[in-house]
Structure 1
Amino acid sequence: MSPVDAALAYAGAGWFVVPVKPGTKNPGSLVGDGWHKQSTRHDETIRGWWAKWPAAGIALHVGRSGALVFDLDVGDVDDIPAQYRDALRQGVFQSTRMSGDRGHYLFAVEAGDNFGNSAGAFASFGEVRGKNGVVLAEPSVHPDAASKDGRYHWPTPGDLPALPEALRTCLRAAGEEAPSMSFAELEQFYAAHTAYGRPQALDGVVKVLETALAGGAARHDAARNALAMAFREAAAGCYCARDAAERIEAVFIAAFEAGKPGRTRPECGEFARTARWAAAQAGLVDPAEILARLDRDDPLLRTIDEDSFWAARPELDRLREFARARRVAPWAMVGAVLARVVVTVPPRVVLPPLVGGSASLNLFVALVGPSGNGKGAAERAAADAVILGAGVYEATPGSGEGIPKQYAYKSKGEQINIRDAVLFSVSEIDTLAALAERSSSTLMPELRKAWMGERLGFGYATVDKAVPIMGHRYRMCLVAGVQPERARFLLDDADGGTPQRFLWFPTTDADAPDRPPEEPQPWSVPAWSFGEERSAVDARAGSTPAETPGNGSRVKFGGGELLLELPMEPRRLVKLKLPPEAAEQIDRARLARLRGTAAHELDGHAQLARLKVAAALMVLAGRTDKVTDEDWELSEIVMAVSNRTRAQVQQALGARAEQANRSKGRAEGEREIARAVVVEEDKLDRAVTNLRRHLVKKKRLPRKDARGALRADLRDLIDEAADRLIAAGLAEKEEGHQGSYTLVWSGD
């Protein structure tokens, strides 16, 4: 059939039709923006259209005709799930390739059905055309006829069957599709999503896009899918949305420059329109679902058997349930629990001197997450989750000089000891950074000494002001909230050893249940005891009747006095027993550092930190005798989680720095480009003016002649000048072969 006869036949069969420019799929390319109101079954209108545009293709207005079309992009229908495959085969089929199952599967919809163009669960396999959707139909020329064996063909005729229930369910699976954003809304989206919680995830999206393009996927569809995925992850705080758009656009444009058949460049505004659509869809997905998917897909996460940790002991399983009942992250809460447990252990309980001297159990914990993501909630839940046999005094650190004063103070030259254990809590790492960055601040050196259990206080202070807190006479633990993008303060102090002394735990829980479980009873940890012959205070002080504080007063058993200013006698230290495997690993790690072959600068204190965790797990289990093989094995999982969390923070900081450098370079480049743009815009304006003048005279200009009519320095702008005239409604483009075209004057 001729195009006009075919269009009349479609109308006679009940289809609303509209002509389209040959070689395109745009239903408004000939009749204009109101095409959806102009589509018709009226014979005279159809004859008039094809008399004016005899080579026009035929677009079937799907929704107005009471139909629904599934556009399958998979070459073999057997490759899709069985329920969709069997349902598609019931439809009337129009192939869009010379061979294979790729094409249109048509169904009739019931009165009252109002399907849009959202593909629902079918999106992985193709597109859906419903209300205001169109499909081109035989004998229209396929835009990809030359490059991809494109062809429209009906193998068999027939009435459209009713939409199968399996496909109806499929369309409901993804819910509503959001309308595209405006350009202003897209800019707001970019401005709102600049976090770098998981920057490595963007590499995965770009890799998926590159793989799809290499496999022959349509460039537009591949970019569309990549942008939708990237913007959802950006909205979940994984990386900067603008950076994602820039990287995806670069790959998209490169796909046109790779010499593949078909279009040689994107359509004007094509990528921007797609970005506006993708940004709108990002708001339809729960960010928690995105993060959970990323956690499941993270290879590092799959190497850590976290479930075995929680299932190993009743107290660990109970703590995870307690955290989820309180809607906080289990790892964050357990990190705070370990700090609370350790702070109740008497200071003279130490780790044996495997390297140098005896090491303190003092523990530092970093709870990592965006501001307001649950650090404080995790600490509050930790306080309720475990009942401790000894009280916990909490404070906020001030200056380095102020830390010893949480334990003791001077009054008339006499040191008054008030406590030997403090749990320091810092809600935001910025607070610690601000204190540390003061001129002549001693905060960070004091914290590093405290982690090792070394003497606190300053020898250069005058006697009446000095508040010495001697080694292993005090217990100190620290819990700090760390926003990933603010963590550079800690990581930049790697030379000083600060980040190595922290355990890093996430404030997220990818496997959090939809409904919180019933809250279990708190876990009880008894007070540490050395035996009935000493009181708890005496045990903490490690005192004997022979010891006297610096002011000459004698300490009596049970007197409640602390001896913080007296050096601890080594013989009075209580050294925990360790499993042989732990001692051997620590010795091997130390030997590697002595020989200069240690793997990573941030792992200098890794084995000691792990040993502290093992000891904390021992205390949590209610034991005081020794660190067991199981304590040591479980501590390995804790350290793996800590290392992973720290690595994610480092990646976030690296991506943030990279983005800042790009922004700086972009700002500098834009100043240079702006000057060049002025020149180019002036040249383009002159090209448009010249082309318009020649087109008014000739009425029709093949591209070759139009290019030749321009001055030599303007000829490279022929296509941009033509697009300007077409956009202004002053010209139309008749497509030719192999990218050629003819401009036709349509102005007054």
Structure 2
Amino acid sequence: MTAPIHERCRPGDDVDPLDPDNKSTCPYCGDLHAWPVETAAPDQHSVPGVGSPEPAAVPTPRLPILPADFWQARPILKHIRDAAHSRLAPADLVMHSVLAKLAAMRSHELTFDSGRGQSSLNYFVAGVGPTGIGKSLSQDAIGDELIKAPAYLTLPQEGTDAEAFADGVPLGSGEGIAEIFMGTKEKETGNTRKDGTPVTRQVREMVRHNALIMVDEGETYSRIGERKGSMIGPALRSAWVGRSIGQSNGGAETTRIIKAGTYSLGMVVGFQPVTALPLLADTATGTAQRFAWVSAIDPTMPDEQVTHPGLLSLALTDEQFEHTARTGSMPFPTEIIDQLRRDHVAKVRGEVAVPERDSQAPLMRCKMAALLALLDGRFEVSEEDWKLATVMWDISSAVRDAVIEQGDQEKARQAEVIAQARVQLREREAAAVNGVESKLDRLATTLAARVVDAGGLRRKEARTGMRRDDRHLYEQVVERADQLGLIRLSDSGALLPPLPAV
């Protein structure tokens, strides 16, 4: 028995729309459907106005999404998907946003070791989709209803009113990223007042270690990157691996240095396909490779309301002390470390050529795997974490490549439009030239008739006898009449009738 077709349902590529028995399993809901049959002849659809309705609007190209078995692999993954759908947010983008927030909230002293020393868990996400479909909803979906900041990020800080966790702050310049972690603190000078109380002064320094940057529209990123002297690209590349960021300008008020390994950072940027292209074009510097690319379109969004599953249970605190962050190094399985080493050695030896787009693939997969383990409440990476991370990386690469391909197709389309416009311009120019020539012939004939009737005309008489609107063409008309043999020109410039034929 076939099931009713929902709005999100689509036939697979193997379905023939003209087959009267076109039943198949929906790739989105998994039910068996009897798809509608198209009765119109194919050539009717190709001729506007011949037995066919107005052409439908072109749908937004779909980007790859995480497969169903990914969400079924662990209860916590299904929890995240349900939370996203309950808030009408795209599941893939919420999934990666959860990892970004997790990376931002964990202790900066919690790292992972995949065989090449301690590595940062800082994690950046680029969500791609058309405007108005809810990229900003992912920010709402990972709010306190799903993820609450751990206790160690809610405690008052000594000497400052700054919050320990900058949650969902906007993106500034490259220097502005460092500024997120900066603030003022009351510091003792070493002197005391008469009453014995210490003398203090305001000092600018690092006041927090944790931040999550949220940017709803990637155009903001592009505009910042286009500013003269912008350091956003280098700052992001350094921040992704936890290196020192900021700059020293000589003065205390303008110096902002955040030392390597002292901060935890996550970032989520929402792009439209066209605004993502400038970042994707930046593969030479490696900025684009620091982002996980995610579809903000979710064709699996259910028709029915989904109940929110509640808070995630995260293990970011010390096992014995609730107000202390968990620190240390997350180890990887020996087999994965060995494979990563073999792959890197082959690359260094020149035995394999890695595409520029995939230059950061090993480290990105390691970050994904470590964050998946942390999400699952573990502090060591498993083989299953690695497999799930591989799925996430593969889909991220497919999304990135699809956006680039769409950009290339749009460039080709625009080039074709420009080429057609140039052809049309040349055609209009040719038509205009032909029009002028035909007008000159007509005016030359009229002028010649007047010259013959008058037995000759002086130049002034010939010109004033023309229509006012045509007088600017006088010299061309005379030249044309002379070329056609309709008149003769005397040495003084007078216009004479042609000589009689011999």
TM-score after normalising by structure 2:
0.68
1:354 deviation in Å?
3.1
Q: Which residue of 2 aligns with 1:245?
A: none
1:530 deviation in Å?
6.7
Percent identity between the two aligned chains:
28
Q: Which residue of 2 aligns with 1:499?
A: 288
Q: Secondary structure at the match of 2:247?
A: coil
Alignment of 1:259-274 (within 5 A): 271-274=47-50
Q: Is the 8 A contact 1:387 1:524 kept in 2?
A: no
Q: Distance in 2 between matches of 1:446 and 1:601?
A: 20
Q: Which residue of 1 aligns with 2:171?
A: 397
Q: Which residue of 1 aligns with 2:239?
A: 450
1:480 deviation in Å?
0.3
1:607 aligns with 2:362: yes
Of residues 116, 121, 145, the one that matches 1:361 is 121
Q: Is the 8 A contact 2:184 2:207 kept in 1?
A: no
Of residues 338, 347, 354, the one that matches 2:108 is 347
1:581 deviation in Å?
3.2
Q: Is the 8 A contact 2:105 2:211 kept in 1?
A: no
User: Could you report, residue by residue, the CA deviation over 1:525-575 in whole angstroms, capped at 9, with x for unpaired residues?
Assistant: 13322754x952xx58xxxxxxxxxxxxxxxxxxxxxxxxxxxxxxxx822
1:595 deviation in Å?
3.0
User: Could you report, residue by residue, the CA deviation over 1:408-456 in whole angstroms, capped at 9, with x for unpaired residues?
Assistant: 2467783433210000111111111111211111121111100010011
Q: Distance in 2 between matches of 1:470 and 1:121?
A: 62
Q: Is the 8 A contact 1:413 1:464 kept in 2?
A: no
1:589 aligns with 2:343: yes
Q: Distance in 1 between matches of 2:241 and 2:411?
A: 32
Assess, with a 3 A threshold, how the Cα gap between structure 1 residues 517 and 669 changes in structure 2: closer, same or farther. same
1:311 deviation in Å?
0.7
Of residues 612, 616, 620, the one that matches 2:371 is 616
Q: Which residue of 2 aligns with 1:711?
A: none
Q: Secondary structure at the match of 1:449?
A: helix
Q: Which residue of 2 aligns with 1:423?
A: 212
Q: Which residue of 1 aligns with 2:386?
A: 632
Q: Secondary structure at the match of 1:351?
A: strand
Assess, with a 3 A threshold, how the Cα gap between structure 1 residues 461 and 123 changes in structure 2: closer, same or farther. same
Alignment of 1:113-132 (within 5 A): 121-124=36-39, 127=40
Deviates more, 1:592-601 or 1:336-345: 592-601
User: Could you report, residue by residue, the CA deviation over 1:62-102 in whole angstroms, capped at 9, with x for unpaired residues?
Assistant: xxxxxxxxxxxxxxxxx96479xxxxxxxxxxxxxxxxxxx
Q: Distance in 1 between matches of 2:207 and 2:37?
A: 69
Q: Secondary structure at the match of 2:174?
A: coil
State the aligned residue count: 378
1:222 deviation in Å?
3.3
1:122 deviation in Å?
4.9
1:511 aligns with 2:300: yes
Q: Which residue of 1 aligns with 2:131?
A: 371
Q: Distance in 1 between matches of 2:391 and 2:284?
A: 26
Alignment of 1:721-736 (within 5 A): none
Q: Is the 8 A contact 2:244 2:258 kept in 1?
A: yes
Alignment of 1:106-505 (within 5 A): 121-124=36-39, 127=40, 221-225=41-45, 227=46, 271-274=47-50, 277-278=52-53, 280-282=54-56, 306-352=67-113, 354-355=115-116, 357-383=117-143, 384-390=145-151, 391=153, 392-394=165-167, 395-409=169-183, 414-459=203-248, 461-462=250-251, 465-505=254-294
Q: Distance in 2 between matches of 1:408 and 1:616?
A: 26
User: Residue type matched to 1:455 in 2?
Assistant: S
Q: Distance in 1 between matches of 2:433 and 2:204?
A: 78
Q: Which residue of 1 aligns with 2:416?
A: 662
1:652 aligns with 2:406: yes
1:655 deviation in Å?
1.2
Deviates more, 1:410-419 or 1:342-351: 410-419
Q: Distance in 2 between matches of 1:671 and 1:273?
A: 28
1:574 aligns with 2:334: no
Q: Which residue of 2 aligns with 1:557?
A: none
Q: Distance in 1 between matches of 2:36 and 2:71?
A: 35
User: Residue type matched to 1:442 in 2?
Assistant: M
Q: Distance in 1 between matches of 2:72 and 2:429?
A: 65
1:617 deviation in Å?
0.9
Assess, with a 3 A threshold, how the Cα gap between structure 1 residues 469 and 401 changes in structure 2: closer, same or farther. same
Q: Distance in 2 between matches of 1:605 and 1:512?
A: 31
User: Residue type matched to 1:397 in 2?
Assistant: L
1:677 deviation in Å?
5.0
Higher helix share: 1
Q: Is the 8 A contact 2:183 2:205 kept in 1?
A: yes
User: Could you report, residue by residue, the CA deviation over 1:441-480 in whole angstroms, capped at 9, with x for unpaired residues?
Assistant: 1121111100010011224644563222111111111100
User: Could you report, residue by residue, the CA deviation over 1:474-517 in whole angstroms, capped at 9, with x for unpaired residues?
Assistant: 11111000111111221121111111110111111122222233
Q: Is the 8 A contact 2:366 2:386 kept in 1?
A: yes
Q: Distance in 2 between matches of 1:652 and 1:510?
A: 19
Assess, with a 3 A threshold, how the Cα gap between structure 1 residues 223 and 643 changes in structure 2: closer, same or farther. farther
Unaligned 5+ segments in structure 1 are: 1-78, 84-119, 128-220, 228-270, 541-572, 684-748
Q: Is the 8 A contact 1:413 1:463 kept in 2?
A: no
Q: Is the 8 A contact 1:341 1:388 kept in 2?
A: no
Assess, with a 3 A threshold, how the Cα gap between structure 1 residues 517 and 630 changes in structure 2: closer, same or farther. same
Q: Distance in 2 between matches of 1:525 and 1:121?
A: 47
Q: Is the 8 A contact 2:79 2:309 kept in 1?
A: yes
User: Residue type matched to 2:83 in 1?
Assistant: F
**Relative CO higher for 1 or 2, CA cutoff 8 Å, sep ≥ 6?**
2
What RMSD in Å do the two structures reach over aligned CA positions?
A: 3.1
Q: Distance in 1 between matches of 2:332 and 2:66?
A: 24
Q: Distance in 2 between matches of 1:643 and 1:353?
A: 21
User: Could you report, residue by residue, the CA deviation over 1:157-214 in whole angstroms, capped at 9, with x for unpaired residues?
Assistant: xxxxxxxxxxxxxxxxxxxxxxxxxxxxxxxxxxxxxxxxxxxxxxxxxxxxxxxxxx
Assess, with a 3 A threshold, how the Cα gap between structure 1 residues 582 and 223 changes in structure 2: closer, same or farther. farther
Q: Is the 8 A contact 2:279 2:288 kept in 1?
A: yes
Assess, with a 3 A threshold, how the Cα gap between structure 1 residues 122 and 575 changes in structure 2: closer, same or farther. closer
1:322 deviation in Å?
1.9
Q: Distance in 2 between matches of 1:665 and 1:588?
A: 50
User: Could you report, residue by residue, the CA deviation over 1:602-648 in whole angstroms, capped at 9, with x for unpaired residues?
Assistant: 1111111111111111111122x301111111111111221111111
Q: Is the 8 A contact 1:410 1:465 kept in 2?
A: no
Assess, with a 3 A threshold, how the Cα gap between structure 1 residues 414 and 521 changes in structure 2: closer, same or farther. closer
User: Could you report, residue by residue, the CA deviation over 1:680-727 in whole angstroms, capped at 9, with x for unpaired residues?
Assistant: 9999xxxxxxxxxxxxxxxxxxxxxxxxxxxxxxxxxxxxxxxxxxxx
Unaligned 5+ segments in structure 2 are: 1-17, 23-34, 154-164, 186-200, 438-502
TM-score after normalising by structure 1:
0.47
